[in-house]
Every structure is written in structure tokens, then in C-alpha cells.
Amino acid sequence: MPPSPSAQVISHAGNRTGRVDAESVRCLICTVREHNLCSSIEDQDVGVLAQATRQLSLPPGTTVIEEGTAASAFFNVISGTVKLFKSLPDGRRQITGFADAGQFVGLSNSRTYSFGAETVDTVLLCRCTHAQIENLLAEYPRFARNLLTAVTHELTDAQEQMLLLGRKTAREKVASFLLDRIKQYHRTHPHDPDAETTASVPMTRVDIADYLGLTIETVSRTISALRRDKIISGTENHCIRILSIPNLQDIAYGLKSI
Amino acid sequence: MPPSPSAQVISHAGNRTGRVDAESVRCLICTVREHNLCSSIEDQDVGVLAQATRQLSLPPGTTVIEEGTAASAFFNVISGTVKLFKSLPDGRRQITGFADAGQFVGLSNSRTYSFGAETVDTVLLCRCTHAQIENLLAEYPRFARNLLTAVTHELTDAQEQMLLLGRKTAREKVASFLLDRIKQYHRTHPHDPDAETTASVPMTRVDIADYLGLTIETVSRTISALRRDKIISGTENHCIRILSIPNLQDIAYGLKSI
DNA sequence: CGTTTATTTGACCCTTGTCAAGAGTAGTGG
DNA sequence: CCACTACTCTTGACAAGGGTCAAATAAACG
């Protein structure tokens, strides 16, 4: 349920002086505020948030964070998908996750980023410096609590991905990936009647391969095999229709050798 | 520098009534308090901590957390090593990390644990319910801030491990693992003159294999090969001496094909 | 000191990676 | 509107890294 910025809502909101400036409105009408960290800050304090952040729109393939550079900013994804990755000196790359609308990117303990980030498609971001994040953490205990929950959630996802990378076969990996993509599509398109059986795959085969610890050829072959086995369909490469979710789940968890 | 509980220190400390009870002393003399989350709570408030926690000593191979059971407790590792893992229905297992002295185990967002935990060797733990953790989070902003830092650090480690699992060869995986073990030995034995070149490997080949996404045979063969190549030595399987750390680092990051 | 368990080593095979070529797709500009 | 170009994706043939199965050693333990 995207928050509709009715006149009534706006009349209650504003920065600390009680005035509603243009910046605050940007946050008040934000389509993901209800679903991300910003929800920890009440409408009346939203001016603080608006002042702390800058919004930017980036084309596909743009570097958001360069691995190893000074860590200074934090980003909220408003729309689109960002990929996070780590690389080896010889160029081998592992994508550690995709951040979709409502997720954040750029937390770091050390002085430099230990990972890189790049847009997959056109992405709308909210940028915030680490210093400003520290202010919000100190000022709003709920913000700190929510960030902790969010990072804990990311850690849980990372553990699931380690299981996938270390112990699943190519077929199980691709099935797990498609299930994740269905869930993601369902979250971002709750009104689509086909949401149950649709997977949005905006990333290229290269990205999928680097995410699953495979080569593009193996990803391609495995997707073709799933299509041959009537588990998925759709000629479009970036929108896949799932014919049997139970089958896909069985494959993802190693319950089906087929 | 393990905190020596001198009379002076104790005289300043105690619970909120000013009295120093036996429980508080347990925290005040704790060998890892300086290096873990508990450091966010001052000496004078340590009574709160002591009351919230219970200490337990567990033999090797004990289940600390059973995957999928109700999530209710949080543990600090005082000494020894705990392994964290996730499993597939058919028994395949991925160890997602080892928690050594000073680290914690058992954070969870959901009602049930999404992972299991088991002792590797004899382990001393401090147990604390999630409700009590919530109290500490609400009461001590520094505790919340430190926990966030700790979880962020875990996430960074997890990303590094994903790179290892998805993109490194068996040789690179084992080299990376040994480097981690050297670092860990160095942290826990800062006074040992051999700390720079010693790796403590208390876990079995099965655990190493499940951590690196390999089979025990491959782990064994790879360690033998490193020994043949004069990169490591030591006939003892649980204490390995490193002959050339630079070589090991080059291997771990794919800079050396040897 | 015998029994059990952990580790090493060997032989063989399979899944996945590598190399190479062909088939779609998407822009671009004449 | 259609060639031209540049990708991305798919498919095939072959190779190799690591898995599987089996047996031999070496440790651990009662």
C-alpha cells in the first residue's frame, strides 16, 4: 500500500519549525518510506531526514561504490536494482547480493568499502553520509533498532547464500535464485494478479552467474533444461513465468533429482 | 591485555546499590569482556549484565542451537570455538562461520533460528535471553551501537566467505582458511612468540570441508600439497606451522598458480 | 593394546568450466 | 525500412577440477 500524500497527512507533517518545505515533501511522498529504515522517523521529524539525504537517478551499469575507496556514504534504493560484489585481483567476481527497492547499501565498519556496488537497471537512490547516519543513530533509538534488524536480516540472507554457494548443484542454485526473484517481484508488484508465478530478472546472465558461483554457459544451459522440463516458460529472458512453484521449491532444496 | 581484577577496580564496581555481589565479580574478571559486546556496559552497571546472563561450560560436539527451533537465547563465547551452520534436507551442510572467544552467537529476527550451532571443542558460554538483550538494547545506546558494529562486521566476513565459496579454487580456499586461523590464533595468543606463524585448527576435516564447500578428501589432498610445496609444515593436524605467509597470501588471492 | 574414529591416498568419474561457433536482440544510421 | 554492428544468449565439443568410492594409515580412546 503506497502511502498517498493526502492533504491531511501533509498538514500534520513538517520539519521542527512546523513548516513543510519542499524537501520534506520528497520524503513524505516517498514510495518506499513505509518499507525501509526511514519508517523509524516520524512524520513530524521527516525534515531532518530530508535535509540529510540527496536523491539521485542513475542509468544502468553505473558504479555506485568502488571497491576499496573511502567509505563515506550510505544509500537507500527507491526503485530499481543495485548489485553488490567483491572481486579477486585477476577479475573473478562474486555478487554478494542484489538490493531492490526499499533496501539499503553502503554500511561499512572500516575506513574503506570492502565491496563494490553498481546499478543493474535505472536506479533511484537516496544518498546520505555516514556522519549523518551516525547522527540519526544517536538521535533516534528506533532508527538504530531498525538498522540492527535490517543488518541482521542481511546476515541471514548471506548465510542462506553461503549454503547455496557451497553445497548446492547448478540446478538447485538456479531454482533457488528464481524463487527469490518471484518473492521479490511479489513484494514490489503486490497488485499484479500474475505475481505468484512471475519472476523479474533484470540482470544479465553474467550477473546471475557471478551471483550463483557459476559460468554464464552453465546458467544458460540450466535455464534451458528447466524450460525443457516444463518447470518454467517464457521466451523473454528478463521475465520468466513459473509453471510449477512446488517443483521449483523441491529442486531448490534438493528434494527432487529430476 | 586481560583485565586483572585488582582490589581497586572492584572497589569502584558493583551493581546499582553499590554492593559488589558474586555475580558481578564473574563479569568483572571475565577474560573477554574488554573484547566483546559487554565492554559497552560500564563497571558500575555490570551487575545488570551479571544478572542477565548465566555461564555454562559445554563439552565438544554439544548442540548449542538446533536449526529451526524457537529462537530465545543469545550467547557470548568466553573460550573455545563454536561452529554455525545451515543444512539441506538430505544432510548436506554448510558451516557459515566459527565463533571464537569474544564473539557472539544467536541473533535472530524470526521466531525460529535459521541456523544451527555446535561446540567444536570445550566451550565456555555466557547465555542471555533475547528479552534481556532487548532490555540492554533499550537501556544502553552504546550496547546497541556496538552490537550494530559487530553484526556489520559479521556481514563483511560473510561477504568475504561468499567470494571464497563462489569463486576460489580448492587451493585458494584452504590458503584463505589457514590465514584466517593464523589471525585468530594471534588474537587469542598475543603473547606467544610463534603467534605470527601458527594456525590453530581445532576442527575436524569434516568441519573444514563443510566450511569451505569441499569434501574431506579434497581438503586433505590440498593440505598435503601445501606441505609438499613447503608452504606449511607440522605433523600435528590441529596445529599447523606456516613456513611462508607471503606465499600463502598470494595463493589465497589467486596471485600465484603454484 | 585392541577398537574405533579421523585422515590420507589412489583410481575413476561426473559436473561444471573452457573454448568456439551460431542465433537472437537491440540499437544506429543511411 | 533495412542493413550494419555490437551485444547477449544459447548450444556443442571437449577438458579438468573436484567429487565418489574404496582401501590403507595414523590418531584417539577406553
pLDDT tens-digit series, residues B214-249:
999 999 999 999 999 999 997 777 889 999 999 999
Cβ within 8 Å of residue B128, ≥6 positions away: B52, B53, B54, B73, B74, B75, B76
Longest dimension (CA), chain B: 64
Q: How many CB atoms lie within 10 A of CB A205?
A: 17
Question: Which residue on chain B is closest to A158 by alpha carbon?
Answer: B158
Q: How far is the CA of A51 from the C1' of D24 (A)?
A: 71
pLDDT category at B94 given cuts 50, 70, 90 is very high
Question: How big is the CA angle at A209 (ends A206 and A214), to the nearest 5 degrees?
Answer: 140
B99 burial class (0-12, 13-18, 19+ CB within 10 angstroms)? buried
CA separation for the pair A212, A169 (Å, rounded):
10
How does DSSP classify residue B68?
T
pLDDT category at A19 given cuts 50, 70, 90 is low
| Per-residue pLDDT at B24 | 86
CA separation for the pair A255, B90 (Å, rounded):
8
A22 burial class (0-12, 13-18, 19+ CB within 10 angstroms)? exposed
Confidence check: pLDDT of A6 > 50: no
Residues 237-256 of B with CB under 7 A from strand C: 237
Answer yes or no: do B159 and A212 touch at CB < 8 A.
no
What is the per-residue DSSP string for B190-248?
TT-TTGGGEEE--S-HHHHHHHHTS-HHHHHHHHHHHHHTTSEE-S-SSEEEES-HHHH
- Backbone angles phi and psi of B122, in degrees to 5: -70, 130
CA separation for the pair B35, B55 (Å, rounded):
17
Give me the count of residues in chain B.
258
The three cell numbers of residue A109 are 565498519
Confidence check: pLDDT of A237 > 90: no
**Mean pLDDT in chain B?**
90
Confidence check: pLDDT of B2 > 50: no
Q: Residue B152: list chain A partners with CB under 8 A.
A: 107-109, 151
Confidence check: pLDDT of A1 > 50: no
CA separation for the pair B55, B63 (Å, rounded):
16
CA separation for the pair A222, A68 (Å, rounded):
34
Q: How far is the CA of A157 from the C1' of C5 (A)?
A: 35
Kindly state whether B112 is in contact with chain A, defined as any CB-CB distance less than 8 angstroms. Answer: no
Q: DSSP alpha helices (H): ranges in chain B? A: 7-12, 22-28, 46-52, 130-139, 141-167, 170-188, 205-212, 216-228, 245-252
Q: DSSP alpha helices (H): ranges in A168-231? A: 170-188, 205-212, 216-228
Q: How far is the CA of A209 from the C1' of C21 (A)?
A: 21
Q: Which helix (H) or strand (E) segment is A165 a member of?
A: helix A141-167
Question: Which residue on chain A is closest to B148 by alpha carbon?
Answer: A148
Q: Select the more confidently predicted residue: B209 or A24.
A: B209
Give exposure, A48-79, as e/b (b: 16+ Cβ within 10 Å): bbbebbeeeebeeebebbebeeebebbbbbbb
Kindly state whether A84 is in contact with chain B, defined as any CB-CB distance less than 8 angstroms. Answer: yes
pLDDT category at B22 given cuts 50, 70, 90 is confident
Q: Measured between alpha carbons, how far is residue A100 from residues A60, A92, B36, B44, B69 in Å?
A: 14, 24, 33, 45, 30
| Per-residue pLDDT at B188 | 85
- Mean pLDDT along residues B154-172: 98
- In this prediction the pTM is 0.92
Helices A141-167 and B141-167 pack at an angle, to 10 degrees, of: 20
Confidence check: pLDDT of B3 > 80: no
Question: Contact A61/A80 with Cβ under 8 angstroms?
Answer: no
Q: Residue A161: list chain B partners with CB under 8 A.
A: 162
Q: How far is the CA of A99 from the C1' of C16 (A)?
A: 28
Kindly state whether A115 is in contact with chain B, defined as any CB-CB distance less than 8 angstroms. Answer: yes
- Backbone angles phi and psi of A233, in degrees to 5: -145, -175
CB pairs under 8 A between A and B: 134
Whether nucleic acid strand C comes within 7 Å of the CB of A214, the answer is yes
Whether nucleic acid strand D comes within 7 Å of the CB of A122, the answer is no
